[in-house]
Amino acid sequence: MKILVVGSGGREHAIVWKLSQSKKVEKIFCAPGNGGIKEIAELVDIKSDDVQRLLDFAKKNKIDLTVVGPEAPLVKGIVDIFGKNGLKAFGPFKDVAMLEGSKVFSKNVMKKFGLATADFRVFDNPEDAKKYLKETGVPIVIKADGLAAGKGVIIPKTIEEGLKAIDSIMVERVFGDSGDKIIIEDCLEGEEASLLVFTDGKTIVPLESSQDHKRIFDNDKGPNTGGMGAYSPAPVVTKGILEDVVKSVFRPMIDGLRKEGKVYKGVLYAGLMMTEDGPMVLEFNVRFGDPETQAILPKLKSDLADIMMACVEGTLDKIDVKWEKSSCISVVCASKGYPDEYEKDKEIFGLKEAGKMKDVIVFHAGTKAKNGKILTSGGRVLGVTSLGKDIKSAKINAYKAVDCIKFEGMQYRKDIGDKAIK
Distance CA 297, CA 328 (A): 9
| One-letter identity of residue 204 | I
Comparing CA positions, the residue from 186, 237, 185, 248 lying closest to residue 212 is 237
185 interacts with, out of ligand GLY, ligand AMP, none, CB within 5 to 8 A per kind? ligand AMP
One residue of 22, 209, 232, 285 binding ligand GLY per CB under 6 A: 285
Binding mask 119-148 toward ligand AMP (x if CB under 6 A, else -) reads ----------------------x-------
CB of 292 to ligand GLY, least distance (A): 6
Residues of span 141-200 touching ligand AMP by CB under 6 A = 141, 153, 155, 185, 187-188, 192
The kind and range of the H/E element at 356 are: helix 351-356
290 interacts with, out of ligand GLY, ligand AMP, none, CB within 5 to 8 A per kind? ligand GLY
Work out the burial of residue 5: count CB atoms within 10 Å of its CB; fewer than 13 is exposed, 13-18 middle, 19 or more buried.
Answer: buried
CB of 283 to ligand AMP, least distance (A): 3
CB of 101 to ligand GLY, least distance (A): 13
One DSSP character per residue, 178-233 reads: GGSSEEEEEPP-SEEEEEEEEESSS-EEEPPPBEE--EEEGGGEEEE-S-SEEEES
188 interacts with, out of ligand GLY, ligand AMP, none, CB within 5 to 8 A per kind? ligand AMP
What 3-state class would DSSP assign to 212? Answer: strand
- Check whether the bond before 156 is cis (ω within 30° of 0): no
292 interacts with, out of ligand GLY, ligand AMP, none, CB within 5 to 8 A per kind? ligand GLY
Residues of span 255-294 touching ligand AMP by CB under 6 A = 271, 282-283
Q: Give the torsion through C-alpha atoms of 257, 258, 259, 262, to 10 deg.
A: 70
Residues of span 148-167 touching ligand GLY by CB under 6 A = none
CA distances from 363 to 227, 345, 376 (A): 14, 18, 13
* Residue closest to ligand AMP, measured at CB: 283
Percentage helix, strand, coil, to 5, in the chain?
Answer: 35, 30, 35
CB of 62 to ligand GLY, least distance (A): 31
> Could you say whether residue 201 binds ligand GLY (CB under 6 A)?
no
Q: CA Rg, the chain, in Å?
A: 21
| Residue among 185 and 212 whose Cβ is closer to ligand GLY | 212
Neighbours of 137 (CB within 10 A): 10
| Residue among 192 and 306 whose Cβ is closer to ligand AMP | 192
Distance CA 142, CA 140 (A): 7
List interacting residues with ligand GLY (CB under 6 A). Answer: 212, 227, 285, 289-290, 292
* Residues that bind ligand AMP in the complex, under the rule CB under 6 A: 118, 141, 153, 155, 185, 187-188, 192, 214, 271, 282-283
